[in-house]
């Protein structure tokens, strides 16, 4: 009972981080957004994971490696749910 609540809490924290990553990606498209410290903090937090993927899959002028990182992260979260809450 307690372990399942802890695992569910971890899952929700990981889902919140997924949202932070999405916001970080969107902020990278907005010029001038990095002059605000809150937006720099969001981008720095999202780059903890997405930074490893940046620049790996570039098609023309589009860097879609962040999409690959997001898909991998979603897959890991799905495996987490299947492993612990089935």
pLDDT, the chain, mean? 90
Q: Which tens digits make up the pLDDT trace of 12-23?
A: 999 999 999 999
Domain chopping of the chain, boundaries: 2-84
Q: What confidence category does residue 63 fall into, taking pLDDT thresholds of 50, 70 and 90?
A: confident
Output DSSP code: residue 58. Answer: E
CA distance linking residue 65 with residue 5, whole number of Å: 33
CA distance linking residue 43 with residue 51, whole number of Å: 10
Q: What is the pTM of this model?
A: 0.86
Q: In terms of DSSP H, where are the helices of the chain?
A: 2-28, 37-50, 65-84
Looking at residue 13, what is its pLDDT? Answer: 95
Helix axes 37-50, 2-28, angle to 10 degrees: 110
Statement: residue 85 has pLDDT above 90: no
């Amino acid at each position: 009972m307690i372990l399942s609540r802890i695992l569910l809490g971890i899952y929700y924290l990981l889902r919140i981080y997924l949202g932070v990553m999405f916001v970080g990606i969107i902020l990278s498209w907005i010029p001038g957004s990095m002059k605000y410290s809150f937006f720099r903090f969001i981008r720095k937090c999202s780059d903890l994971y997405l930074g490893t993927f940046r620049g790996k899959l570039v098609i023309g002028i589009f860097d879609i490696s962040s999409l690959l990182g997001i898909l991998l992260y979603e897959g890991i979260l799905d495996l987490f749910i299947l492993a612990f809450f089935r």
